[in-house]
Amino acid sequence: MRRAASLILLLLAASCGEGSPKANKSSTPIPSSSAVASGEPPASASTPVESSSADVVTQASQPYEGPPVLAEGKLDGAALRARNLERVRKDDSPVIALAGDDPVALAKKLCEAVVPKRGKDVPVLVKPNIGGFDSIKDPEKSGGDDGVTGRITNPEFVRGIIRCLKERGHTKITIADGWGGPHSYWNKLVDISGYAKMTKEEGVPLVCMCDDGTFDVEGDRPGKPMQVSGMGATKVPTLLLPKVLAEHMSGGLFIEVPKLKAHRFSVVSLGLKNMQGVVMSSLASPAHRQKWRMHAELKDYLDGKSAGNEDRAAYVKALDLFAARMVDVSEVAMPDVVLLDGTPAMQGDGFQMMVPIEPKIGIGGTNIVRVDQAGAMFLGAWDNEKLALGLGGHKTSPLIELAAKRFGVDLSKTRIEGDASAAVLEPRAFVFKAMAPFQLTAKDVPKKPGSTTTSSPAGAATAKAAALGAEKLVLDGVLDEPAWSRATPIEFSTDWKGRATSVSTRVRFLWSSDALYAAFESESAGFFTDATQPTDRDRARLYEEDCIELFLAPDTKARHKYFEVEVGPFGHFLDLSIDRQAKREDVGWSGALGVGTRRDAAAKKGVIEIAIKAPEIRSALKSGAELGLGVFRMEGRQDRKFLAWSPTFTDRPNFHVTERFGTLVVE
C-alpha cells in the first residue's frame, strides 16, 4: 500500500518536471548544490515510466530601473521581492481574452495585445509548461494518446509568440523550462512533443533549466543553479534559480506561457503553479531534481489514504503549504507577462482525465494574479461552492487566494476585455477530479449565473471614450474623421447567454462637452425594418425590429437608474429613462439625439453614428469619469439574434440586468 502512495506522489511530481517524491530526512539547509549528498531517489521511484489589438498594457510592466538584482553569481531575493510586490500591487491593467482556432495566429494576436514593448536588443525568455504530464505513452496502445499532448503548452502556441517577438525585432529569444527527471527523458520529451522541431524551425534555442554539471553545460551554462539571498524567512529558504532566468529578470523580458488546465492537487495549473518548473533547491543534489519538495507533506496524506485513513484536513493543509511556497517563489521569480494557452483548455485532473472545453482561447496580462483568476473563471473553478465542499472551504485554488492577499490585489476590480471575455465570464460547470477522493461533474453548474461578478465589477467589460478635442463630426455614417481612428473599438458577437454567433458588431465612443458619440459597425446586417415609418419622432416597439441599444448609467453606484437609447439602421429611434428599483420608465425623456446611418445591402454591412446631447449624459462626461454601460444589438426576422457585449446570462433574452453592465471610461 505504501508503494502505491509513492507512485501517486511521483505522478503528481511529474507536473513541470517536479521530480522525486522521496522524503528527505535532513533538516539542515545546505548552502550550495556543489557539496551535498545525493538527493536522487531510487531509479524505480523517480524515473518516468513509458506506458501503454494594440499594445494596451505597455505601461503595466516597465523595464526595471532599480539597483541590480544579479551580482557576483547571486540573486538579491530581497530586492526582487520588493520590486515584484510593488509592481503587481499597482498593476490594474485589464486581462485580455481572445478566441481562435489557429494556435499560431491566436498566440501572435494575444502577444501583440499584451506583451510589453521593449527595445529590440532586450533578450526574451519564454517559459512554457513542457513537463506537466505523467508519462509518455505508445499511441498505438493508448487510443492515439501519446501521454503528452493536451497536458503541456502547445508548441504551436509558443511558435505564435516567437513570431510576434521577431516582428518586433527581437533576435535574442530563448525557450526554456525546468525538468525534474532524467536528462535522457527530456530529450525524448522535446522530440515527441514537437518542441525540438518547432524551435529548430524558428531558429531559437531550447534550454532545459536543469544543469547538474553534465547536461546543458554548453556555452554559458544557462541551466546552472544560482543562489538567492534573503529567503530565510520564507517557506523556501533553500531556493535556487536557474541562471538563464536570473539573467532575464535582471535586464530582459520574461514571458510565462502555461497550459490552461485543471490540476488534481492545485485545482488549476496556471501562472502561479507553472513557476514550479523553475524551482531548484540546495537541500540535495542535483538541485533541479528537488522540485517535489514543494509538496513533500502530501506523501504523509497519501500514505494514510492508502492505509484506509483519508485525512482531508491533512490534504488541505498540504495544499495550503504548497500554495505558500509557490507564492514565495513567485515573489522572486515574477514573469513580466503571462499568456495562458487554452488551445484547448482542459478540465479533468490535468493528466489522465482530460476534458477539453470550447472555445479555444488565449488569456493574457501583466498581473499574474488577475490572469490566473480569469483562467480559473474560464475553467469553472472560480467562486465554486461545490469545490469548497471537498476542499476545506476553498472556492478556487488556494494559490490564487493567497497570492491576491500577499500582493494586495483586489480581485473584485479585475477587468476582462477582448473578443472572448464573455466566454470567460459565462457560468460553467467545473469537471474536476482531485487527488483526494472527490470529483465534480458536468451537472455541478453554478446556481447563480454570473455570481462571480454580479456583486462587483470583477471581470466586467470595459469600453473607452476618446476625447474629441477641437474636431467636428458629421453624422453621416461614413466615419472618416480622424477622431474615430483614435477611438479604441470594442467588438462582440456573443448572444445574451454568452454563446458565440456569426454576427459581429464593432463599436467606438468619443466625447466632448457637447455630447457622447457612438459609432456602430454591424456585420451580417439584414435591415429588418419598416422604413416607411417616420424617423423624426420616437418609434414605439423599435426593439421588435433590427436595432442597436445603449444603456447608460451616469452614476456607477446607482446603476438601477439609467437611460436607454435604441436606434435602427434607417435612423428610427426610441429613448427613455429607467429606474429599476422604482419600477418606473419614462418615454418622455429625450436623449437629444443626432443620428446618421449608412447601409450596404450587398455586403450586409451597416453603420449607425449617433450623438447623445441630453444634459444628464453631458454632465457625466469628465476626463476620468466612469459610466455604467450596456451595449446590445437585435438582428434578424426569423432566426432572431439578441446580441450582447456583456452577456446577461438570463434564461430568456433580457438586457435589463444592471449588475451585468460594463463600464465606459471617459479618457
In sequence order, the 6+-apart residues with CB closer than 8 A to the CB of 412 are 455, 456, 457, 458
Residues 489 and 581 in one domain: yes
What CATH number should be reported for the domain holding residue 468? 2.60.40.1190
* pLDDT at 54 exceeding the cut of 90: no
Whether residue 343 is found in the same domain as residue 485 = no
Domain boundary pick from 377, 409, 440? 440
Q: How confident is the model at residue 419 (pLDDT cuts 50, 70, 90)?
A: confident
Average pLDDT over residues 531-555: 95
Q: What does the pLDDT look like over 101-147, one tens digit per residue?
A: 999 999 999 999 999 999 999 999 999 999 887 788 888 887 888 88
Handedness of CA 456, 459, 460, 466 (dihedral sign): positive
The pLDDT of 88-99, averaged and rounded, is 95
- Grid cell listed for 358: 470550447
| Same domain, yes or no: 247 and 385 | yes
Contact in structure between 152 and 128 (CB atoms under 8 Å): yes
Whether the per-residue pLDDT at 183 is higher than 90: the answer is no
Residues 20 and 13 sit within 8 Å (Cβ to Cβ)? yes
pLDDT at residue 407 in the model:
97
Above 70 in pLDDT, residue 358?
yes
Written as nine digits, the cell of 246 is: 536570473
From the number of C-beta atoms within 10 Å of its C-beta (0-12, 13-18, 19+), residue 140 rates as: exposed
- pLDDT recorded at residue 136: 83
Categorize the per-residue pLDDT at 12 as very low, low, confident or very high, splitting at 50, 70 and 90.
very low
Does residue 450 carry a pLDDT above 50? Answer: no
Do 510 and 652 share a domain, yes or no? yes
The pLDDT value given to residue 51: 31
70 has a pLDDT exceeding 60: no
Domain of residue 349: give its range: 88-137+146-440
Is 47 within the bounds of a domain?
Answer: no
Cell matching residue 515: 455630447
Total number of domains constituting the chain: 2
* Residue with grid cell 531559437, as numbered in its chain: 204
285 — pLDDT class (breaks 50, 70, 90): confident
Q: What is the DSSP code (8-state) at residue 86?
A: H
Instruction: For residue 426, tell me if it sits in a domain.
Output: yes
Averaged over 243-262, what is the pLDDT? 93
Q: For residue 332, is it within any domain?
A: yes
Residue 147 near residue 133, CB atoms below 8 Å: yes
Look at residue 484 and tell me if it is in a domain: yes
Tell me whether residue 58 is in a domain: no
What tens digit of pLDDT does each residue of 300-325 get? 999 999 999 999 999 999 999 999 99
Same domain (yes/no): 235, 330? yes
pLDDT at residue 444, as a whole number: 63
**Alpha carbons 521 and 529: distance in angstroms, whole number:** 17
* Best CA proximity match to 428, nearest among 613, 190, 260: 260
- For the chain, what is the mean pLDDT? 85
pLDDT in tens, 136-180: 888 888 788 888 889 999 999 999 999 999 999 999 999 999 888
566 backbone φψ class: left, alpha, beta (φ>0; ψ -120 to 50): beta
- Do 519 and 385 belong together in one domain? no
Least confident of 6-20, 331-345, 581-595, 638-652: 6-20
Sign of CA pseudo-dihedral 349, 355, 356, 357:
negative
pLDDT-based confidence at 408, cuts 50/70/90? very high
pLDDT band at 74 (very low <50, low <70, confident <90, very high): confident
Residue 393 exposed, middle or buried by CB count within 10 Å (0-12, 13-18, 19+): exposed
**DSSP symbol at 285:** B
CB 60 within 8 A of CB 337: no
Place of cell 505513452: 137
Rounded to 5 degrees, φ, ψ at 486 are: -85, -20
> Mean pLDDT across the stretch 564-588?
96
Other CB atoms within a 10 A radius of the CB of residue 580 amount to 14
Task: Say whether pTM exceeds 0.75.
Answer: no
Q: Does 642 fall in a domain?
A: yes
